[in-house]
Amino acid sequence: MKHYSAVIFDWDGTVMDSTHSIVSAIQMACADVSLPVPSARDAAWVIGLSLESALYRCVPTLTAEQLPLFLERYRHHFLSRDTQIKLFDGIPELITTLRSRAITLGVATGKSRVGLNRVLASTQLHEHFDITRCADESFSKPHPGMLLEIMEARALRPEQVLMVGDTTHDIQMALAAGVDCMAVTYGAHDKPTLVKAQPTVMVSSVPEMQAWLLDRV
């Protein structure tokens, strides 16, 4: 059985139950700026991408002139729900257990650095992660840049690393970086979509994730 010495997590939809809040914020911002409102499925598809990549796909008619107002309205709607967004049940305990086994823990996320730092502080998980990378300081998924930078910084070989995420963007990033990927089916992308991307393994819950991981770290 293969064993890993590093586990890198996506954030939204994997660690934190924020998918619905992101989708709603995108939809309400579009309505505020009088743009076509994307379906929940289309809005969820872009979760995990950098903001620029997400808007290009989800709101293709957004103009440069409309962008500042759109971003202000998106942040308003998202932050208005901020205190209601929670970690998935079992995530704090899993992170603590992995940490106790001296596993390198990281985050590779489409969030901005400011956004990630804010949620790491509010969830009191900042001390548990050895290294984090955000889309506004590296390449957006599915480019492997964030994972490659993490591996270089921590002197990790691809075979030592497992990426955990809820979207095909995470799977494609992992494949491009040469690392294994666990796909979780409780986040932004549904199971049939994830299956097509061919992750190393799929799990449907945090307890299932923990059982699989603890046999391999």
Task: Using a cut of 0.75, tell me whether the model's pTM lies above it.
Answer: yes
Q: Which of the 8 DSSP states describes residue 130?
A: S
pLDDT tens over the chain, length 217 residues: 899 999 999 999 999 998 888 889 899 999 999 999 999 888 888 888 777 777 878 888 888 888 889 989 988 998 888 777 899 999 999 999 999 999 999 999 999 999 999 999 999 999 999 999 999 999 999 999 999 999 999 999 999 999 999 999 999 999 999 999 999 999 999 999 999 999 999 999 999 999 999 999 9
Q: Which of the 8 DSSP states describes residue 141?
A: T
Return d(Cα 113, Cα 172) in angstroms, integer: 22
Q: What is the CA radius of gyration of the chain?
A: 17
Return d(Cα 162, Cα 182) in angstroms, integer: 7
Q: Which residues pair with 202 in a beta bridge?
A: 183
